[in-house]
Amino acid sequence: MDKTARNRRVARVSDDNGDTWSEEMTVYAEGKSGDIGYPSTVQLDDGSLYTVWYEVQEGWFAKLRAARWSID
């Protein structure tokens, strides 16, 4: 695995119930530690997506991160 892959959040989309998937879409690419996890995404009223996850910064200090993005 590419070391930078652990420091980013990506998404893939399927329009056929998971039989095939789109190419990766980068949601967040600025992670520092590689300890990034538990993403949760909701679709907002305007159709955009909002994803929240945690990222450990130093030691056990963690931050919540978020990104608003769209598939288009």
Q: Supply φ then ψ for residue 4, to 5 degrees.
A: -70, -20
- Indicate if the pLDDT at residue 28 is higher than 70: yes
Rounded to whole angstroms, the Cα distance separating 23 from 6 reads 17
Rounded to whole angstroms, the Cα distance separating 70 from 25 reads 10
Distances (CA, A) of 57 to 6, 16, 40: 14, 37, 19
Q: Token pair of 67, please?
A: 């990104």
What is the predicted pLDDT for the residue at 6?
62
Rounded to whole angstroms, the Cα distance separating 30 from 44 reads 23
pLDDT band at 7 (very low <50, low <70, confident <90, very high): low
Which tens digit of pLDDT belongs to each residue from 30-72? 766 667 778 899 999 999 999 998 888 777 788 888 999 998 7
**What's the number of domains the chain is made of?**
1
Domain residues for 28?
Answer: 3-69
What is the predicted pLDDT for the residue at 1?
44
